[in-house]
Amino acid sequence: MTGTDTLRRSDWQVHKVLSHPEAARLIRTWHYSGSCPNTATYRHGLYRSDAILHGEPFGVALWIPPTRSTAESLVGDEWGGVLSLSRLVVAPEVPKNGASFLMASSMRMIDRDRWPVLVTYADTNQGHTGAIYRATNWRCDGEVAAGDVWEDADGRLCGRKRGRFTFTVAEMRAQGLTRRPARPKVRFVHDPKGLTDG
């Protein structure tokens, strides 16, 4: 399996990931930010069909509610029904359409009566265009300002918010991190009930 082959649906399945630490470890390994939220509303994993019971996931989709201000900007008083795709990662060896297969399967496992609006972002700092979201019928909602971008000596991105802690600029610099110009993120919304404007 080279990571360039096309995923065969018969070889892969998406299931709930029971352990948050397991999901977090894989996200920290594969996600460009190297970080993971401390909790999740949904954790879904991409598994080989022949190793579901005993194998680790080859990808993880992690969903959490966004900040209230973000949710309110989308649906106003109905802000409690917005859920954010916080992390989507797959191992390098997963076939090239594995991420879209994981995300589409994960979306079907969400209670859309409870969470009618989904939101996520494409990070232009990483060269992401949101093609995977467009392919799964998300609506491009335009650019939004991004937060600080920091890099370590190896070029790895580090966020100021890690777990319960938000580091100051001085603390980030004390860790040997360098601030880089932030480029905007592109927001995408999935709203089959038409609750948002646009």
Q: What is the mean pLDDT of the chain?
A: 85
Q: What is the pTM of this model?
A: 0.79
- Cβ atoms within 10 Å of 33's Cβ, excluding its own: 16
Mean pLDDT value across residues 130-138: 87
- Give 127-140 as a DSSP string: T---HHHHHTTPEE
pLDDT band, residue 2 (cuts 50/70/90): very low
- Cβ atoms within 10 Å of 72's Cβ, excluding its own: 15
Q: What tokens were used for 184?
A: 């905007």
Per residue in 54-96, pLDDT tens?
A: 678 999 999 999 989 889 999 999 999 999 999 999 999 998 8
Mean pLDDT value across residues 99-113: 95
Identify the sign of the CA torsion 176, 183, 190, 116.
positive
Asked whether the beta carbons of 138 and 106 are under 8 A apart, the reply is no
What pLDDT was estimated at residue 4?
53
What pLDDT was estimated at residue 125?
67
pLDDT band, residue 195 (cuts 50/70/90): confident
